[in-house]
Structure 1
Amino acid sequence: MSDNTEAAVGRGWRLWLVLVLLLLVAGGITARMLSLYVEEQSFLQTQGDARSLRTVQVPAHRGIITDRHGEPLAVSAPVATIWADPKMTDMQHDGLSKLAVLLKTNKKKLLAKLSENRSRRFLYLQRQVTPELAEKIRALRIPGVHVDREYKRYYPAAEVTTHLVGFTNLDGKGQEGLELAYEDWLKADAGKQLVMKDRLGRTIKHIREVKPALHGNDIQLSIDLRLQYLAYRELKASVEAHKADGGSIVMLDASTGEVLAMVNQPSYNPNDPKQRISTALRNRALTDTFEPGSTVKPMTVAAALMSGEYEPETIVNTAPGYMRVKGKTIRDHRNYGEIDISTIITKSSNVGVTKLSLSLPEGSVRNLYHNLGLGQATGIGFPGESTGYLPYLNSRQQVERATLSYGYGLSVTPLQLAQSYLALANDGVVSPVSLIRQSEAGKPVRVMPADVAVDVREMMETVISVKGTGRRAAVQGYRVAGKTGTVHKVGRGGYIDDQYISTFAGLAPVSDPRLVTVVMIDNPKGQEYYGGEVAAPVFSRAVGGALRLMNIPPDNWPEVNKQVAQR
């Protein structure tokens, strides 16, 4: 064999050797990769987690809701969420027994819950725990168990303001009331941050901010929490005393239309989810409608005065105490005979207002009701607000025109009724009602001449006298004007003989009206059910206390009257 042949054979053998070695190396690498991927994945995952960069959420708090003086009505309190990564949780860790005790469960149930979700990477163990409890759990250092910070909504005034403020769900989204109405304004937008964590999930280094946390915007309501507490206390006491089904009080600022107090019964504590039963959730002052009864008689009288055909001294013959309108009998409590228009309000004469209404052009009373806001939404922006009902009537509907004049055949909410009284308190001008504190009053609308409003207001003052139906609404030291109302409740088959709605609507002080207030008691049980017996005393206590809290000077003390006379 020549030298060239031997050299070629040598080179071929070496090439094959190199090729075999390369294949062996490639096979070894492949085998190792398969081993790492299949057999040691868990180990590698743990080691990766021990040196991993994570994007974590930075919680942001929801906007604060306050009253007009800055008192908090809804705040976001810091809490924590306890969650687990079942796939990475050490089921043999000694701290699981202590964790079960802290979570108020037992170890067997906790292990069963983790085992059932072993394939998952996220599992809530408990939400909205106190920061103190969260620190105890964090100190256990259980692999796979994590503690995250979040916020929980808390309502300092609890049941006193709950129908206005509402509440949020577990995720912090508004479900009722202003929390729902202003969800877009109040809601927070959580931020994001890049951090380095160890294998126990502890943050060991903050790298950089990915997205800033945006806190929600605050809202300042028109509510005066002092008046809210006062009104709530008086309403609750009256509902309990008369064993009523419920009730509402609405108190407005006479000049601006701002809602100073709005309370309802029954109520509930929004901080306790177990109390959130359907019958207690709704804001009855805005959602429940009723026939206003005699509380709208002052408006019928105002329509008569606006026609130019009547004066406060005009005499109306109501004898013999009843009248027939197309087969329907309309009655007074007794025969008042010939009385002036002021006495029609004082005695709450159905016959008197019926005669006034039927003598006017067919749309006069209904149009004034509409201009005052009855039978339509107030525009307050509250979810679920009812519009009420105000019918259109023609000249042939004599009975309906008659009953409309004394508050039957239409339906209103307590807020609508209070809004209508703003015109009487504010010399014929109505400002838009608002639950949000206003830097200045909304654009007012004149709905009746000032002299008509003043005349009707003075007539309503006689209702509080010893001769009127609302004398129990009197407030010592202050002149009060108002009107009682008592109507049968409406059921599926018509009016219910033994169930009533008792109301009182009024304003004070008459010399310079500052407050307009409506009290509605739903189905009082017992011997007392008239508005003058049930609702008027609540008005007296609530408004009397409010006038004193607001430091409004008395206008009905003897020395005050003497000074006025001397001027």
Structure 2
Amino acid sequence: MTAVARVKDDKATVKKDAQTVSYTGRFRLVQAVMVLALLVACGRVAFLHTEDRSFLKGEGDKRTVREEVLPAHRGIIFDRNGTPLAVSTPVISLWFDGRILKKDEPKLPDLAKALGMPEDELKTKVANSAKRGFVYLGRQFKPREAKAVLGLKVPGVYGQPEYKRFYPAGEVTSQLIGLTNIDDNGQEGIELALDEWLSGTPGEVQVIKDRKGQVIREADVLKSAEPGKEVKLSIDLRLQYLAYRELLKAVQEHKATAASLVMLDVKTGEVLAMVNQPSFNPNNRGAMNIAALRNRAITDQFEPGSVIKPFAIAAALESGRYHANSTIKLSPGRLRVGRDTVKDPRDYGTLDLAGILAKSSNVGMTKMALDIGAEPLVSMYQRVGFGQSTGVMFPGESLGVIPLRPKWRPIETATISYGYGITVTTLQLAQAYAVLANKGVSVPISIIRQDVPEVGEQVMAPEIADAVLDMMETVASRDGTARRARIKGYKVAGKTGTSKKLEAGGYSDDNYISLFAGVAPADNPRVAAVIMVDGASAGAFYGGVVAAPVFSRVVEEALRVLGVPPDSAGIKQMLADNVKNSRNEG
């Protein structure tokens, strides 16, 4: 080998050794960095586990801990004696996460069967919800039914606790109590009027879930659920059942289209019973008739006809131009008023005010009204509550109509004296009759039980109220228009009414409102009741035939339930009737 070649070999060897040294240094540097990083990581882990554990806990909680709503049930609605009328029962709504549950899930047929749903329908629903995190499978299942579904352990299917409203009295209290929607919010009746009071405040609870979203256990209650407040109504469910039964019987017997009944405690203004026909079962929403949702006793207004006459007579007495013994000549049974003629069924000759009321003479009422003018009539009507709210704050309440005119035509003055040209509700009529029964004192009407009755307002002189009440007793006598309203052992004061319904083109000749309004016992009234029957079509339509018997049956039982003893006058009357009946039979 030449000297030149040897020198080249030596240079190559030196270069290779230099490169080897360079790679070894770099490797050791990387090793040092990795060891340092590992030490830092270990130190960080040790620090988090010993000094700053909240961070790891927070990160873990983000993946496993969830906050869920604790539902709160609505307050219970009771009758005045503590009988439940509306309660909340626990139910479970089922839902699924479309991102987890797939249409090809093997358990889908079993799920469809448990839900009572066609399998194709369920698959379509799941397929259309692939990107949605929350989809209802069904609402308000009974716990036993929901448990059967959740027991299938289908991935992505969950249960949500809720409450559902149940109404033990069903149709009997339906329009008064109302109902809630599927989210437990008030929609009708008391449920709507007092929704804020009845609604509870939901709570919050922490739960731990696994990676499939299943709840493993409850971790902590963050906020307790607060149930809604309770409500005790003024109605007596015993009287409510009684009124409902008799009103339904009257509607069926006379083939009427609708009816309503209101019974008041005349001293406290409390509503003891309020029923309507047609009704509905709030526990069966599928068969619900929308028209039956109305509480007709409060929402429907009508021309009252002759039941308004006691208040027109009260206005006449108040004017000073008439007294209880005043007489009016009614012959020949008709009276020309402008271009119109007011008629009685027959010529009654000459009658006093009690006789005019007992025979329900339109001619007699017209003569008094034209004599005193329309303003005293309107003033009296307004003071006893017509044309204004009763104060019950019930959804959809009608105020009725009392016309106010700068100048009244004679026929307009005449018609408002016998119940046409104005409109009222059944509740307003009951309120007005309670004023007569309470010696002219108007007590605020209440659907809520009043432990301490509100102070009333004197809107009519006591002697006038008593005088009119005495006259109304003749209406329920054997010679009056309301003899079917009589009650054995109790004296009754009341008035019948039969008004034609206004239709396109004028008043109908075959469609009537049949009414009876009265109080009992007449000597010391405890209750006032009004019965309105709309569209009786089985032949009879007069208030004394259609509505008065309902008053007799309902109020007779009500007085016994309320523990009102028979009055002496009523007992004498009953004995006299028995003697007279015995003689007739003999």
Same fold (TM over 0.5): yes
Name the residue aligned to 2:442. Answer: 430
1:516 alignment counterpart: 528
Give the secondary structure class of the aligned counterpart of 1:140.
coil
Residues 1:500 and 2:512 are matched in the alignment: yes
Question: Judging changes above 3 Å, is the alpha-carbon distance between structure 1 residues 325 and 75 closer, same or farther for their aligned structure 2 residues?
Answer: same
The separation in 2 between residues aligned to 1:433 and 1:98, in whole angstroms, is 57
1:272 paired with 2:276, answer: no
Indicate if the aligned counterparts of 1:332 and 1:351 stay in contact, CA closer than 8 A: yes
> Residue type matched to 1:519 in 2?
I
Residue 245 of structure 1 contacts residue 524 of structure 1 at CA under 8 Å; is this kept in 2? yes
Q: Cα RMSD over matched residues?
A: 2.6
Between stretches 93-102 and 295-304, larger displacement belongs to 93-102
- Return the match for 2:86 from 41, 60, 74: 74
| C-alpha spacing 1:533/1:561, structure 2 compared with 1 (3 Å) | closer
Amino acid at match of 2:173: T
Deviation at 1:330, TM superposition (A): 0.6
2:499 maps to what in 1? Answer: 487
Could you tell me which residue of structure 2 aligns to residue 212 of structure 1? 224
AA partner of residue 417 (structure 1):
L
1:335 aligns with one of 347, 371, 375: 347
Q: Secondary structure at the match of 1:205?
A: strand
Report the Cα distance in structure 1 between the residues aligned to 2:551 and 2:561, rounded to whole angstroms. Answer: 15
1:58 aligns with: 70
Alpha carbons of 1:261 and 1:406: their partners in 2 closer, same or farther (altered >3 Å)? same
Any conservation in 2 of the 1:49–1:198 contact (CA below 8 Å)?
Answer: no
Question: For 1:530, which of 532, 536, 542 is the aligned residue?
Answer: 542
User: 1:105 Cα shift?
Assistant: 1.7
How far 1:50 sits from its partner (Å)?
Answer: 12
Identify the residue that residue 155 of structure 1 maps to in structure 2.
167
SS of the aligned residue for 2:436 comes to helix
Would the aligned equivalents of 1:363 and 1:393 in 2 still touch at CA under 8 Å?
no
1:183 counterpart (189, 192, 195): 195
The alpha-carbon distance between structure 1 residues 118 and 296, as it changes in their structure 2 partners (threshold 3 A), is same
2:313: which partner in 1?
301
2: CA distance, partners of 1:186 / 1:7: 90
TM-score, structure 1 as length reference: 0.90
1:242-281 deviation digits (Å, cap 9, x = unpaired): 1111000011111111111111111111111123332111
- The question of whether the paired residues in 2 share the 8 Å contact of 1:479 and 1:509 is answered with yes
Q: Distance in 2 between matches of 1:337 and 1:249?
A: 35
Deviation at 1:513, TM superposition (A): 0.5
1:471 maps to: 483
1:273-317 per-residue CA deviation (whole Å, 9 max, x = no partner) reads 123332111111111100011001011111111122221111111
Distance in 2 between the 1:52 and 1:485 partners? 72
Q: CA deviation at 1:425?
A: 0.4
Aligned 1:372-451 pairs, distance under 5 A = 372-394=384-406, 396-451=408-463
1:240 lines up with 2:248 in the alignment: no
Equivalent residue number for residue 134 of structure 1:
146
Q: Is the 8 A contact 1:141 1:200 kept in 2?
A: no
1:173 lines up with 2:185 in the alignment: yes
Letter in 1 for 2:291: T
Alignment partner, residue 268 of structure 2 = 256
Q: Which amino acid in structure 2 is aligned with residue 131 of structure 1?
A: P
d(CA) in 1 for partners of 2:203 and 2:67?
10
- Which among 567, 571, 579 is matched to residue 557 of structure 1? 571
Contact kept? 2:102, 2:126, Cα under 8 Å: no
Q: Tell me by how many angstroms 1:84 deviates.
A: 1.0
Q: What per-residue deviation string (whole Å, max 9, x for no partner) do you get for residues 73-109 of structure 1? A: 1110111111111221265655433322221123333
For 1:482, what is the secondary structure of its paired residue?
strand
More displaced 10-residue stretch of structure 1: 271-280 or 450-459: 271-280
- Give the aligned residue type for 1:166: G
CA–CA distance in structure 1, aligned partners of residues 407 and 322 of structure 2: 21
Partner of 1:34: none
Deviation string 1:190-220 (CA, Å, 9 cap, x unpaired) is 1111111234544333222222212111111
Instruction: Please say if residues 64 and 219 of structure 1, whose CA atoms lie closer than 8 Å, have aligned partners that are also in contact.
Output: yes
Equivalent position of 1:32 in the other structure? none
Q: 1:561/1:308 Cα in 2 relative to 1: closer, same or farther (>3 Å)?
A: farther
**DSSP 3-state at the match of 2:281:** coil
Name 1:281's counterpart in structure 2.
293
Is it true that 1:112 corresponds to 2:124 in the alignment?
Answer: yes
Q: Secondary structure at the match of 1:330?
A: strand
CA distance in structure 2 between the partners assigned to 1:156 and 1:396 by the alignment:
52
- How far apart are residue 113 of structure 1 and its match? 1.8
Q: Pick the structure with greater CA Rg.
A: 2
Structure 1 residue runs of 5 or longer lacking an equivalent are 27-47, 563-567
**Identical counterparts, % of pairs:** 48
> Partners of 2:559 and 2:453 in 1: how far apart?
21
State how far apart, in whole Å, the 1-side matches of 2:282 and 2:212 are: 37
- Shift in Å, 1:476: 1.3
Residues 50, 198 of structure 1: 8 Å contact kept: no
SS at match of 1:363: helix
Given that residues 294 and 483 in structure 1 are in contact (C-alpha distance below 8 angstroms), is that contact kept between their aligned partners in structure 2? Answer: yes
- The answer as to whether partners of 2:115 and 2:149 remain within 8 angstroms in 1 is no
State the AA in 1 paired with 2:506: G
Distance in 1, matches of 2:408 and 2:398, equals 29
CA contact (8 A) 1:427 1:449 kept: yes
Alignment partners' CA distance in 2, 1:559 and 1:466: 11
Cα offset, 1:3, TM superposition:
10
One-letter amino acid of the counterpart of residue 423, structure 2:
S
Summarize the Cα distance change of 1:540–1:443 in structure 2 as closer, same or farther, 3 Å threshold.
same
Greater shift after overlay, 105-114 or 171-180? 105-114
Equivalent residues of 2:358, 2:481 under 8 A apart: yes
SS of equivalent to 2:531: strand
**Superposed displacement of residue 12, structure 1:** 7.6
Cα distance in structure 2, aligned partners of 1:433 and 1:216: 25
Q: What are the within-5 Å matches in structure 2 for residues 328-367 of structure 1? A: 328-367=340-379
SS at match of 2:179: coil
Matches within 5 A, 1:17-28: none
What is the total number of aligned residue pairs between the two structures? 539
Letter in 1 for 2:78: T
The CA distance in 1 between the partners of 2:32 and 2:128, in whole Å, is: 49
Are the structure 2 counterparts of residues 395 and 318 from structure 1 closer, same or farther at C-alpha, using a change threshold of 3 Å?
farther
Change (3 A) 1:73 1:527: same
| Inter-partner Cα distance in structure 2 for 1:270 and 1:191 | 28
Q: In the alignment, which residue of structure 1 is the partner of 2:236?
A: 224
Measured in 2, the distance between the counterparts of 1:238 and 1:18 equals 105
Deviation larger for 341-350 or 97-106: 97-106
Quickly say closer, same or farther: Cα 1:126–1:246, change in 2 above 3 A. Answer: same
Q: Would the aligned equivalents of 1:50 and 1:200 in 2 still touch at CA under 8 Å?
A: no
SS in 2 for 1:465: coil
